[in-house]
Amino acid sequence: MHFDLDENQTMFRDMVRDFARKEIMPLAHRMDQEAMIPADLIAKMRDNGFFGLTFPQEYGGLGVDTITYAVVIEELSRASAGLSVMLTVHNSVGSYPVAMYGSEAARRAFLPRMAAGEIAAFCITEPNAGSDAAALVTSARRTADGWVLNGGKVFVTNGERAAFYVVLARTPGTTGHKDIHAFIVERGAPGLTIAKKEDKMGLRCSDTVAINLEDVQVPAANLLGKEGDGFRVAMSALDGGRIGIAFQALGIGRACLEDAVRYAKTREQFGKPIASLSVIQGMIADMGAELEAARTLGYKAAWLKDQGRPHTKEAAMAKILATEAAWRAADCAVQIHGGYGYCKEYDVERYYRDVRVTRIYEGTSEIQRLVIARKILEEY
Ligand code: CAA
C-alpha cells in the first residue's frame, strides 16, 4: 500500500492546478457575482480535454482513471466550485449512463460530441421525487419506433447550457423502481423546454433549471440499458457522481484552509499574528485533519471504482465526510476572518455559500447515511 499519486496523476494535478490559478481564480469572484462563465473560459477547458476526462479515448475522451478525475475536480473546485460542478455533472451522471449503458451506436453518436464540449445534464429529480427518486412520475410511453416522454424535472444542473439530457421516466400507470427507463434526449427535441432558472445561494455561475417535457419523441436507440434498467442506471451513475461531489467539497475545504492560514499569519491582534493563538491553531488543526481524512477515504472510493469493485458504500462515506468536513472548514474560515469573512471582498464568503449545497445534491447527507447503514447492516 502507498499513498502517492503516480506520475500521470501528478502531471494532471500540476497542469490543472496551474490552469486553475492562471485562468479561473482571477475570474472566480466575477463569475459568482455575475452568475456567468465566460465563453472563452469554457473554450479553454474544452481545448484542454476537460469535457472528456473520463470517457474512453476511442470516443474522444482522455480516459483518465477515477483518482485522476478526483484530483482534477479538487483543483478546479479550489478555484471555483460553481465552475467545477458543471464539469463533474457532465463527466459523471450526465455522460456515464451513455458510456456504460448506451448501445455502441449511441456511444459513437454522443460521447465524441460530449468530449468536444457539448454539455450533458442529468434529469431525475421532480417536485415530489427528491430523496425518494423512485417516486418520479415523468412518463415514457412506448410507440412503434421509440418513446414519448411527458412530465417535468427540477434542479437540473447544466440544464440551460446542456446539449444532452439523461432523462429518467417510467411506464405510465406504474409505481416503484422496476418500470423506470433511462434515455438520452438531445437539446432541441420538440417539446423539451426550460421552465425556470433557479436563483441560488451559492454556485451562482452554475446554471440550475427546471425543464418541461411535453410529448417529446425519443428514438428507440436512445434507451440506455434495457427497459426497466433506469433506476439501476441512475443509482450506479450517482455512485460515481458522489465521488466527484466529495472532491468538489474537498476543493472548497482546501480553499478555506489555505485562505484562513494566509489570513491568520498576517492579521495581527494583541500585538501578534492571530496564527500564534491556540484557539486559531485549534481550528486550523481540525480543518486540516478532517479534510485529510476525507480525502484519503475519497481516494479509496475512487480506487475501488477503478478496480471495478463495489463502491456504493465508500462513495457515500466519502461524500458525507468530505462535505461535512468542508462545511465546518468554511465556518472556521469565516470565523478566522472575523467581520471581513462576512463581506464579499474576501473569498471565504463565497466558499461558505458554495459549500452548503454539497450536503444536499447528489443525495443529501441523510440519504448517504441511509445508503451506508443499509450496506453495513447487510455486511454484519
Ligand atoms: N447501484 C446499482 N443498483 C442499485 C444501487 C446502486 N448504487 N442502489 C440501489 N440499486 C438497485 C437495488 O439493487 C434495487 O434493485 P432490485 O430491483 O434488484 O431490487 C433497486 O435499485 C432499488 O433499490 P432500493 O430498494 O435501495 O431503492 P429505494 O427506493 O429504497 O432508494 C435511495 C434508494 C438510495 C434512497 C435512492 O432513492 C437515492 O439515492 N435517493 C437520492 C437521490 C439522489 O441522489 N438524487 C440526486 C439527484 S442528481 C443531483 O443532485 C443534481 C445534480 O445535477 C448535481
pLDDT 10s digit of each residue in the chain, 380 long? 889 999 999 999 999 999 999 999 999 999 999 999 999 999 999 999 999 999 999 999 999 999 999 999 999 999 999 999 999 999 999 999 999 999 999 999 999 999 999 999 999 999 999 999 999 999 999 999 999 999 999 999 999 999 999 999 999 999 999 999 999 999 999 999 999 999 999 999 999 999 999 999 999 999 999 999 999 999 999 999 999 999 999 999 999 999 999 999 999 999 999 999 999 999 999 999 999 999 999 999 999 999 999 999 999 999 999 999 999 999 999 999 999 999 999 999 999 999 999 999 999 999 999 999 999 999 99
Question: Is the CB of 131 inside a 6 Å radius of any atom of ligand 1?
Answer: yes
> Cβ distance 323 to 242 under 8 Å?
no
Q: What is residue 164's three-state secondary structure?
A: strand
pTM here is 0.97
Among 89, 208, 209, 232, residue to substitute to test ligand 1 (most atoms within 8 Å of Cβ): 232
Residue ranges, comma separated, of all CATH 2.40.110.10 domains in the chain are: 120-228
Question: Is the CB of 209 inside a 6 Å radius of any atom of ligand 1?
Answer: no
> Cβ distance 92 to 108 under 8 Å?
no
Residue ranges, comma separated, of all CATH 1.20.140.10 domains in the chain are: 232-379
Q: Is 366 a catalytic residue?
A: no
In CATH, the number for domain 120-228 is 2.40.110.10
d(C-alpha 169, C-alpha 188), whole Å: 19
Superfamily of structural domain 232-379:
Butyryl-CoA Dehydrogenase, subunit A, domain 3 (1.20.140.10)
What is the sign, positive or negative, of the torsion defined by CA atoms of 297, 299, 304, 308? positive
d(C-alpha 226, C-alpha 101), whole Å: 8
Q: Which three cell numbers stand for residue 316?
A: 457515500
**Which ranges constitute the DSSP H helices of 92-168?**
96-101, 104-115
Selecting among 227, 349, 362, 378, the annotated active-site residue is 362
Q: What is residue 347's three-state secondary structure?
A: helix
Which residue(s) pair with 342 in the sheet? none
Superfamily of structural domain 7-115:
Acyl-CoA dehydrogenase/oxidase, N-terminal domain (1.10.540.10)
Q: For 358, which DSSP code?
A: G
Residue ranges, comma separated, of all CATH 1.10.540.10 domains in the chain are: 7-115
Distance of CA 144 to the CA centre of its chain: 36
Question: Is the CB of 124 inside a 6 Å radius of any atom of ligand 1?
Answer: yes
Q: What is the pLDDT of residue 26?
A: 98
Q: What is the pLDDT of residue 328?
A: 98
Q: What is the pLDDT of residue 2?
A: 87
